[in-house]
Amino acid sequence: MKIAGLRWWIAGLIFLATLINFLNRLTIAVLGPVITVQLGLTNGQFATLTTAFLAAYTASQALSGKLYDRIGVKRGFAVSIVVWSLASMAQAFSRGLASLTCFRFLLGVGEAGNWPGAAKVIAEWFPARERALGMGIFNSGTSIGSVVAPPLIVWMQLRFGWQATFLAIGGMGFAWLALWLGFYESPQKHRAITAQELELLGQAGPKGAPPASTGGSLAGKNACPSMRRLLRYRAVQGIVLARFLGDPVWWLYITWLPLYLYNVRHFSLQQIGAFAWLPFVAADAGSLAGGWASGFLIGRGWTVNRARKAVMLAGMLCMSAGMAAPSATRAMAALALIAVVLFGFQAWINNVQTLASDYFPVSAVGSVMGMGGTGAGAGAILFTWATGFVVDRYSYTPILVAAGVLPFAATAVLFLLGGEIRQLKLEREQS
């Protein structure tokens, strides 16, 4: 049976994987007030626990991107989700900080694959005009996951305990895996894709011939370019450095928001469950709005270069709102400012993540996204460590101000190094 608009169902499936990914990731952050008290952890020690996840996540981003380019997204996603689901469930058997840190490290190894894999799926299934919106749909899983996580995880912890919470959240991945293996194929292999959708993707062969490869200008042994070769391109350098400088803003709030509300705004655990999800509703709106806006502008005749950059500039300005949060006299005013930040970040990052397919053929998208993710993880590690150090000795104020400045540096570096956003031709690698 043919399914009209199959690409949107594919995007929905990737959205669901991303939502489950974030539920697994945020369990520690939501239960931070409980875990830090039970284990007697300082903010610096809690930062170390988070850094273990980020270290694995950072290293695994580039490796996962290369893996997906080599074995394809169907098998690549299966590997990633099995690893992260088992690691998440294993946390229920932790007996101290050392074992919990080990399982968080393994969780980072598995979870890293979601982003290069998802970007590669979107590049294969969506034309250029719709790619940012496709990225917005799957990326909104991070925001919806962040909305669902506080009330769900707090409820489960209060009712069943933290061990059962880890087991239940981790088990969700295996349910998704069954859907994935039963439904997903690449566009040229999927039996349910219509001829009209193949034509839209530019993959329909002449006179009913099989669809052409989505490998771009590379073929054979060169279909999966080396990371060393890709790093010669200023566009790749710009993406990696922009992610290094910009992504710590997101990691700051998903990691530290519950503890900030608990220690600075004096929220109870129940209040965290009731209100900590609100900024992530704005993040979800930003994810969809940022993807829609650049596609709308392209449809109105704007170039890809102009449309993507306009939305990124708007997102950058929104992210500066966090600098005013420390001076807010009311907790809900601070939450509202943080909501503006997360709206802006998601609008910004959706267009940044689309650049891999704007600049390069599908065969290189996983690798470029993986390298960008490595840059993001490295920046997040440094900023997470700095946050624990500064908060233990001073306050959250210097960190919130720094997080308002970083997006300006990230966007400037991206524009200067990346230049005009246009499809680049990769040189063949010498044998």
Q: How far apart are CA 290 and CA 307, in angstroms?
A: 10
Interatomic CA distance for residues 310 and 70, integer angstroms: 34
The whole-model pTM stands at: 0.73
C-beta of residue 369 within 8 angstroms of C-beta of residue 356 = yes
Cβ neighbour number for residue 74 with a 10 Å cutoff: 17
Report residue 307's pLDDT band, with 50, 70 and 90 as the boundaries: very high
Cα–Cα distance for residue pair 326/11, rounded to 1 Å: 38
In the block, which residue shows the tokens 């170390």? 48
- 227, 225, 226, 198: which is closest to 213 by C-alpha? 198
Average pLDDT, the chain: 85
Length of the chain: 431
Q: How far apart are CA 40 and CA 38, in angstroms?
A: 6
Asked whether residue 429 carries a pLDDT value surpassing 80, the answer given is: no
Residues 6+ apart with CB under 8 A from 347: 286, 287, 289, 290, 293, 311, 312, 314, 315, 318
User: Using one digit for the tens of pLDDT, what is the confidence trace for 377-425?
Assistant: 899 889 988 988 898 888 899 999 999 999 999 999 999 999 999 888 7
Task: Identify the pLDDT of residue 199.
Answer: 83
In the chain the domains, ranked by start, together with CATH numbers, are 6-185+225-418 (1.20.1250.20)
Residue 388's nearest CA partner among 6, 52, 23 is 52
Tens of pLDDT, residues 225-262:
777 888 889 999 999 999 999 999 998 998 888 888 88
Q: Which amino acid appears at position 370 of this protein?
A: G
Instruction: Say which residue, 258 or 334, is predicted with more confidence.
Output: 334
SS3 content of the chain, % helix, strand, coil (to 5): 80, 0, 20
| Residue 4 backbone phi and psi in degrees, to 5 | -65, 140
Residue 219 CB neighbours (<10 A): 11
